[in-house]
Structure 1
């Protein structure tokens, strides 16, 4: 099955899944980013996870905080069973979301333009409770990749049959492989530095405002705008600049 992880449900969008067959020279996700007035900025990751997932969020938080432009801190989750978005932060959730085909979803909300106003990460225990995915490697990689999407990062490569690039932002059939895809690599950190090289006059980090959101089923994600054998991108337009982009990687 070898699906490469991820599925990004972006409330108002962050990063549309672009399916390519080779490593990208740049893997910004549509230019989406958190508005902030200084670097490094600190983004809260809301822990709505069961005990079996907490260490994987801790690893992802530590890995991504090695960036020179952002830090992450894990805080108590504020979401519900549907993993509803919270303004100004990222909510991270797990649940047996059902045999709906997806292993993980990353969502970001755009209230207008390219500024992210919230994010969600969902990992589907319906699949992670199976022998194929119930491994430390798959859990580490999927959590790392989904959290990375909420910063505005796309995949470096979406051809899962290519050799591993040594980054969790790479599709693969085997997260371990000759070169493991369990953590960010230098290109991910360089891309974050590029994405966040400019400063903004306002901040969307930690702000309180209503954000658009989508559900866990395909019917709520809007129009499909990109397709490959292993993943799809959907956009739901709420009007007035509010969009939700859903990045889905299908399990099989």
Structure 2
């Protein structure tokens, strides 16, 4: 399985570093990979565990869930009580746990991680870093919504429509709703292309499911002594597999002792990316 996943990410890296014609192909199908939640029905509901500590963030999660539920989508979302702490944001089987905290001056705005068993997503987390969102540069409704919308959707298996900073009027691009664009609502919601790709990702049914049952409470699953979570230490992300040309987007891969794989999408700040677009930005925050 390690070779299989490495090849997929290596292909993604090749696409990301290629010319304009290849970039347009990537835009046509911006799935993260072949990764998806296993499910036995055409439409399923993914629980989003609300571990958010402020009404400002809870409102953004509510808007995100509403926006993703509004389209022609196989992935419905339901906000439920969180089953972890905002600080640790540990994974819970069959769910995406959504968290915010002051995670530190480490260069990232948002972090989305998924745990994989083969091609199947088994659990995920979406984290927003208040160390930056509490500053004047990033503390506005539209930038918060852009990042929340994107990080949650990464845990569906969805990748970026664009990584060059242009707006595709989708939260799955890297337009920055900061500075003179702070009042702009572009790139804060999914668009029709996002829903089209989700329907492609989930075009087939599986014989089993990795999604927590609904309705009912979410109970944190025992880890069996194997830690698959991503901590606040960037070293826990594993190896850098792909980075956008402007340095704002990175994908990391880690192999776990239980045979599973954890992938992490990192949404870097403008400042971290500008410092050295081609560098693994973790080096600057150790």
For the aligned pair, the TM-score class normalised by the smaller chain equals 0.7 to 0.9
CA positional deviation for 1:150: 0.5
**CA distance, structure 2, for counterparts of residue 169 and residue 227 of structure 1:** 16
User: What is the Cα deviation at residue 179 of structure 1?
Assistant: 7.4
Cα RMSD for the two superposed structures:
2.3
Distance in 1 separating the partners of 2:128 and 2:60 = 11
Per the alignment, residue 37 of structure 1 pairs with: 40
Number of the residue aligned with 1:217: 233
TM-score, with normalisation over the residues of structure 2?
A: 0.77
Q: Is the 8 A contact 1:87 1:209 kept in 2?
A: no
TM-score when normalising by structure 1: 0.87
Once the two structures are superposed, the pairs formed by residues 130-149 of structure 1 within 5 Å of their partners are: 130-149=135-154
Aligned position for 1:191: 197
- 1:106-125 matches, within 5 Å, as 106-110=112-116, 112-125=117-130
Shift of 1:249: 2.1
State the match for 2:211 in structure 1.
205
Q: Secondary structure at the match of 1:42?
A: strand
Equivalent residues of 2:142, 2:185 under 8 A apart: no
> How many residues get paired?
237
Distance 1:48 1:138 in 2: 20
Structure number with bigger Rg: 2
Measure the CA separation in 1 of the matches of 2:33 and 2:127. Answer: 21
**Structure 1 CA distance, aligned partners of 2:169 and 2:241?**
28
After superposing the two structures, state which structure 1 stretch, 174-183 or 150-159, moved more.
174-183
Greater shift in the superposed pair: 185-194 or 222-231: 222-231
- Residues 220-235 of structure 1 correspond to what in structure 2 (within 5 A)? 220-228=236-244, 229-235=247-253
| CA distance in structure 2 between the partners assigned to 1:178 and 1:222 by the alignment | 35
Instruction: Tell me if structure 2 keeps the 8 A contact 1:100–1:217.
Output: no
Q: Helix, strand or coil: the match of 2:84?
A: coil
Q: Using the alignment, how far apart are the partners of 2:172 and 2:157 within structure 1?
A: 12
Shift of 1:40: 1.1
Match in the other structure for 1:170: 173
Instruction: Tell me which of the two structures has the higher relative contact order, counting C-alpha pairs closer than 8 angstroms and 6 or more residues apart.
Output: 1
C-alpha deviation, 1:88, in angstroms: 0.4
Alignment correspondent of 1:180: 186
SS in 2 for 1:31: coil
In structure 2, list runs of 5 or more residues that go unmatched.
Answer: 214-220, 272-286
Report what 1:52 is aligned to: 56
Once the 2 structures are TM-superposed, how far is the Cα of residue 231 of structure 1 from its aligned partner? 2.5
* 1:248 is the counterpart of 2:266: yes
Q: What secondary structure does 1:245 align onto?
A: strand
Report if aligned partners of 1:94, 1:123 keep a CA contact under 8 Å in 2: yes
Q: CA deviation at 1:69?
A: 1.0
Supply the distance in 2 between the matched residues of 1:152 and 1:116 (Cα, whole angstroms).
Answer: 8
Give per-residue Cα distances to partners, 1:32-80, cap 9 Å, x unaligned.
Answer: 1000000210110000002221010000001111243121110000012
In structure 2, the partner of 1:159 is: 164
Deviation at 1:125, TM superposition (A): 0.3
Report SS of the residue matched to 1:73.
strand
Is 1:28–2:69 an aligned residue pair?
no
Deviations 1:125-144 (A, max 9, x none): 00000011100000110000
Contact 2:75-2:156 at 8 Å conserved across structures: no
2:82 counterpart residue number: 77
Which of the pair is proportionally richer in helix? Answer: 2
Residue segments in structure 1 that go unaligned for 5+ positions in a row:
1-11
